[in-house]
Amino acid sequence: MRAARIVLAASLALVSATVLARVGDGPETLRGPADFAGIADPRQRSLALFAEMGKVIRSPRCLNCHPRTDSPTQGDAMTLHSPPVTRGPRGEGVTAMRCRTCHGDANVAFSGSEGSIPGDPHWHLAPREMAWQGRTLGQICRQMSDPSRNGGKSLAQLVEHNGEDHLVGWAWRPGPGRKPAPGTQALFGALTQAWVDSGAACPD
- The residues that touch another protein, with contacts defined as CB under 8 A, are 82-86, 94-98, 100-102, 104-105, 108, 110-113, 115, 117
Half-sphere exposure of 170 (CA within 13 A, CB side): 25
Cis peptide before 83 (omega within 30 of 0): yes
189, 36 Cβ separation under 8 angstroms:
no
Q: Is the dihedral of CA 135, 138, 144, 150 positive or negative?
A: negative
Q: How far is the CB of 115 from another protein (least distance, A)?
A: 7
Q: How far apart are CA 77 and CA 92, in angstroms?
A: 23
Q: How far is the CB of 124 from another protein (least distance, A)?
A: 14
Burial class (CB in 10 A: 0-12, 13-18, 19+), 195: buried
Between 34 and 96, CB nearer to another protein: 96
Between 28 and 110, CB nearer to another protein: 110
**Quick count: other Cβ atoms within 10 Å of Cβ 2?**
6
Between 73 and 143, CB nearer to another protein: 73
109, 43 Cβ separation under 8 angstroms:
no
Between 38 and 89, CB nearer to another protein: 89
Q: How far is the CB of 80 from another protein (least distance, A)?
A: 12
Which residues of the chain form beta strands (DSSP E)? 73-74, 79-80, 93-94, 97-98, 108-109, 116-117
Between 29 and 82, CB nearer to another protein: 82
Phi, psi values for residue 22, rounded to 5°:
-85, -30
Between 87 and 135, CB nearer to another protein: 87
Q: How far is the CB of 130 from another protein (least distance, A)?
A: 22
